[in-house]
Structure 1
């Protein structure tokens, strides 16, 4: 596998985490503007993407397959939990 092919596979693997993180952060900017402005947008997207990528990697390691629906469901739960924690949902 060439380095370019590896980069393509890596970006396609992480793409769902990036999209979910970006849509969630932008959606919260629209729906909960006052609370969402406490944390910079780039930080929300970066931390949620990192947690989402770790979730996707964990799903790949547990199931030996990429793209299982259970992994994507876990991605959504983890992304929501990270955003909730970032915006101090418990306080």
Structure 2
């Protein structure tokens, strides 16, 4: 395997984490952008944290399950992206009155 093949293989391994993190961050920003911006959260930071959580989950799944592409790994990726979005963005939002 050449260097280019190795880099493409690595990029394809981490791509689901980046895509899920980016899409989830975009949807989060779409629905709560005014409130998130008011508390100092930026989309770029949210996408970086969520994508990083997704990539770490993929790596952890590979180490623990010893195979790429297992359903448990993808469940862990989705949960970790959701937790990262909540931790770095949504938990900072004040509760609305009446809810």
**TM-score, length-scaled by structure 1:** 0.90
Residue equivalent to 1:29: 29
> Does residue 55 of structure 1 match 2:57?
yes
Quick one: distance in 2 between partners of 1:36 and 1:23?
16
Residue equivalent to 2:9: 9
* Deviation (angstroms), 1:39: 1.5
Quick one: distance in 1 between partners of 2:36 and 2:67?
35
Gaps of 5+ in 2: 95-99
Gaps of 5+ in 1: none
* Deviation (angstroms), 1:88: 4.4
Task: Supply the RMSD in Å over aligned alpha carbons.
Answer: 1.5
Greater Rg over alpha carbons, structure: 2
Q: Is the 8 A contact 2:17 2:51 kept in 1?
A: yes
Residue equivalent to 2:78: 76
**TM-score, length-scaled by structure 2:** 0.83
* Deviation (angstroms), 1:40: 1.6
Name the SS of the counterpart of 1:39 in structure 2: coil
Equivalent pairs counted in the alignment come to: 91
Name the SS of the counterpart of 1:32 in structure 2: helix
1:20-44 deviation per Cα after TM superposition (whole angstroms, max 9, x unaligned):
1111111012111223333221111
